[in-house]
Each structure stands twice: as C-alpha cells, then as structure tokens.
Amino acid sequence: MGKERSEKEKVGGGEHNKRNMFVSCVVMNSCAAELKLALTALLVLCSIATLFQILPSRFAISASDLRFCISRITTTTTTTTTTTSIAPLNSSSSTTSIAPLNSSTTASLTPSPPSAQKEQVAANGAIKRGFNPYGSAAYNFITMGAYRGGSDTFAIIGLASKPLLLYSKPTYQCEWVPESSSASNSTFSTVSYRILPDWGYGRVYTVVVVNCTFSEAVNGENSGGKLFLEASTSGGGDKNFNITDRFEVLNESPGDLNMTLFSSKPKYDYLYCGSPLYGGLSPQRVREWIAYHVRLFGERSHFVIHDAGGVHEEVLEVLKPWMELGYVTLQDIKEQERFDGYYHNQFMVVNDCLHRYKFAAKWMFFFDVDEYIYLPPKNTIKSVLDSLSDYTQFTFEQMPMSSKLCLSADYGRYYRKWGYGESWCTET
C-alpha cells in the first residue's frame, strides 16, 4: 500500500498539471471517520459554478487518473496500416508460427540443446561465444475482451509485454474468418493500435487496445464467423525472428449479430465504470458511496464494479441489494493479478468497460470509489450534462479533503478509518 500511495502522490503533483492544463488535480479524499464531515467539506471546497466561469470553453467537473488516461489515449493514437497479405493459418486457436526475419536464418521456436551454440575457436583465433535462449518470460498478448464497435470495426483489449511495446515495434493484424468456408474468403483488417503508457509504472505488462477496422462490413450476412488477432513480435525480443501468435478473440454464431445495438437508444443514461477494487474495503464506505451515487445518477443508471480482491464477503453483502435491483454489475477480475501491470491493471479494466458498455449508455463515468461527484445546488446531473451535450468528453475538477477534518484521535490510523486502499490524507 505504501508504494501505491507514493506513486499516486507523485502523479497527483506535477505530472498531472503538466499533462492537462485544464484540470487542477488533487485526489479528493477524506480521512475523516465521519463521511458526513467529508461531504460537508466538499460542498464548501468544490464548486462547479466557479469552474464554469474560469473555463468557459473546455469545462471540467473533477478529475482522476483515469480520465487523463482516457483523454490521452484518444490523442496519442498510432495508426499502422498493414498491407502484407498473410497466408491464413489453420483455424485452430493458439497456433504459433515463426517467420524468420532474416531469410538466411532457419526458423526454430524453441532452441533446444541439439541446436545450442557451442564455443568455437574461429579461424582468426578468437573464441566465438554462443548465446542460447530458452523459454519466454512474458506473454506476447493477454486478452481481456474483444468488442464489435460497428459493422466493420472491433476493439481488442489486453496486455502485452511492456519491453516489447516500449523498445520495439510489434505489429498487430486482425483476420475475419467467415463461419462457412463457401460464403467468402477471410478478410484482413488494417490495424491501428493504441498504447497506454501507464505513466511508466507498469512493469512486466502494459495495456494495449488494438483497433481493427476492415475495409468493408464483416459478417454482413449474419452467417457467423470468427475474429483472429495476429500479434507479431517483428524482431522485438530476438532480432532474428518475427514470431506471430494467432488466436481467436471473438466468435459470432450465425444469427447472433444484431446491428440495431449500435443505433438504438442506449439502455442507460449514465454508466459508471469502476477501477479495480482491492484491499480491505470498508463495507460502510462502499454502502454510502453506492447509495449516494445511485441517488445522484437516478433510475437510468448502472454501476460496473470490478473486484480485484476488495469485494470480500461484507462488501458483497452491501452490493447484493443493488445488484438485485439491477443497478450494479459485479465483475470478478481477480485473475488479472497474475499479470504484473500498473495498479491492478486499472487501464486495461476501464478500457474493457468502455468498449463493453459504450453502446449501453449516453454517458460513461470513470472515477474511484474514494471520490464523490458533487453538484452545486440548483443543478442536477441532467442539467449539467445537457449543458455539455456538444462535447464527447469532459473531465472533473478534483478537490481534496482537508486533513484538518481528520479526527486527531485517528491520527496515524487513517487507512483503517477510510475504506479504500489507495487513499491518503492531503493537506489543502
């Protein structure tokens, strides 16, 4: 916890301000044992109206790490158009094939002892040393979800080896294979891929969103088909090899595709995508948070909660009634803990949520459960969002809670009082 904390503090300082001049960002927080106190303070500290005056053109309500990230993805898109035609591999998933980059090199997936290089004395008298690789330490790609975004476009959300992405240029390509081989030939997409830099804190893995857009509609006949992703190392990892992993990411059964989803009125007005919850969450705080925001967002709202280990039995008990009423969807994402990324792979999780639910709501919200949306008196969430209807994206102004609100009796024990693992006390 200590480490996460210092990371966030770093981010809350100079980093943010550099990156988004519209938002002054300090994580709102309370270490007050009494949440009421926290809210009262918010009413005083946080005023949307003020912001309207300062920032008439690019208005912001409050900000957390996430939103920065999301606005930054859209601005840092790299587009790669791949025109190479690939001979379709067999349709079984997880086929691995190697195409040697250097045509004089013989492809071999796992250099085994027989092929191991031995020390040799060269003609010039030098001892030629060998280097023998075994195994691989990070996966080429780990999928979380793949979603259709229209008649001809898909998004694949996952993790990829961080050094591979940072220091070399892996390539991605999608292939659509129709269900019935007689229908049509498989089609290859152009791929634009986006990388979330996760502020440099991710370690073994980093988040990748692969956007596959085909030149024409796929599965237009609704006869079913499969989407495959081909992830190639293109000489990253081993300059002599271009290792391509090809795997199925999406399967549409015949008749499954319903294109009205993309054009019909969304089911919800507001959908909340939560960051991974972990640690010893306080059920009381979660109960207050959810009740407050269900009331704020109203009947046509929905909350997607991601459990990275924080939804223990008592927290689940608090969420259960809201799940039964249809307000909450709980996603168990504990498996991602196997893959070391930034902050319980937060950016992968929220990007998955974005693509999974984006046709289900008018607006999606990304903030943490130690943050509360505050609207000044006489405003409703609807009036505020109606005033922003010309925008596709906005950020929030974040206001910190004053540490002066902390009960002195709680000094040094804030983390026990406040429900969330990533919170800390901020001086204002």
- In the complex, the residues that contact ligand NAG under the rule CB under 6 A are 82, 84, 86, 90, 99, 101-102, 104, 149, 153-155, 171, 173, 184-185, 192, 211, 213, 230, 232, 234-235, 242, 244, 258, 260-261, 264
**Residue whose CB is less far from ligand NAG, 49 or 261:** 261
Distance in angstroms (rounded) separating the CA atoms of residues 398 and 28: 6
Instruction: Say what angle helices 283-297 and 313-324 make with each other, to 10 degrees.
Output: 20
CB of 212 to ligand NAG, least distance (A): 8
Least Å distance, CB 54 to ligand NAG, is 31
C-beta of 155 vs 227, nearer to ligand NAG: 155
Q: Which is nearer to ligand NAG, 140 or 234 (CB)?
A: 234
Q: Pairing between strand 142-148 and 205-213?
A: unpaired
Q: Which is nearer to ligand NAG, 66 or 191 (CB)?
A: 191
Amino acid at 43: L
Closest CA to 348 of 153, 202, 232: 202
- What are φ and ψ of residue 66, in 5° steps? -55, -50
Give SS3 for 101.
coil
In degrees, to the nearest 5, what angle opens at C-alpha 238 toward C-alphas 233 and 243? 35
The sign of the dihedral angle between the CA atoms of 249, 255, 259, 262 is negative
Closest approach of ligand NAG to the CB of residue 308, in Å: 25
Beta carbon of residue 31, minimum distance to ligand NAG (angstroms, whole number): 39
Nearer to ligand NAG, 25 or 361 (CB): 361
Please, which residue, 90 or 392, has the CB nearer to ligand NAG? 90
- Find, among 4, 345, 302, 320, the residue nearest to 142 by Cα: 345
Beta bridge pairs of residue 98: 243
The pair phi, psi for residue 360, each rounded to 5°, is -95, -10
Cβ of residue 15: shortest distance to ligand NAG, in angstroms? 27
Q: How many helices (H) and strands (E) does the chain have?
A: 11, 16
> How far apart (Å, rounded) are the C-alpha atoms in residues 217 and 96?
28
Q: In the complex with ligand NAG, which residue's Cβ is closer, 40 or 117?
A: 117
CB-closest chain residue to ligand NAG? 149
> Contacts for 244-247 with beta carbons within 8 Å, 24 or more apart?
244/86, 244/96, 244/97, 244/98, 244/99, 245/94, 245/95, 245/96, 245/140, 245/141, 246/89, 246/93, 246/94, 246/95, 246/96, 246/97, 246/175, 247/93, 247/94, 247/95, 247/141, 247/143
CB nearer to ligand NAG: give 172 or 420. Answer: 172
Nearer to ligand NAG, 75 or 104 (CB): 104
Which 8-state DSSP code applies to residue 410? G
Closest contact distance (angstroms) between CB of 236 and ligand NAG is: 9
115 class by beta-carbon count within 10 Å (0-12 exposed, 13-18 middle, 19+ buried):
exposed
Q: Residue 404 Cβ, how far from ligand NAG at the closest point, in Å?
A: 45
The Cα–Cα gap between 141 and 32 comes to 43
The closest alpha carbon to 352, from 161, 201, 155, 206, belongs to 155
Please report how close the Cβ of residue 258 comes to ligand NAG at its closest, in angstroms. Answer: 4
The nearest distance, CB 390 to ligand NAG, in angstroms, is 19
Nearer Cβ to ligand NAG, position 65 or 230?
A: 230
- Shortest distance, position 225 Cβ to ligand NAG, whole Å: 13
Nearer to ligand NAG, 349 or 399 (CB): 349
CA–CA gap between residue 32 and residue 82 (Å, rounded): 55
CB 84 → ligand NAG: shortest distance, Å? 4
In whole angstroms, give the CA distance from residue 404 to residue 428. 9
Name the token pair of 268. Answer: 């919800």
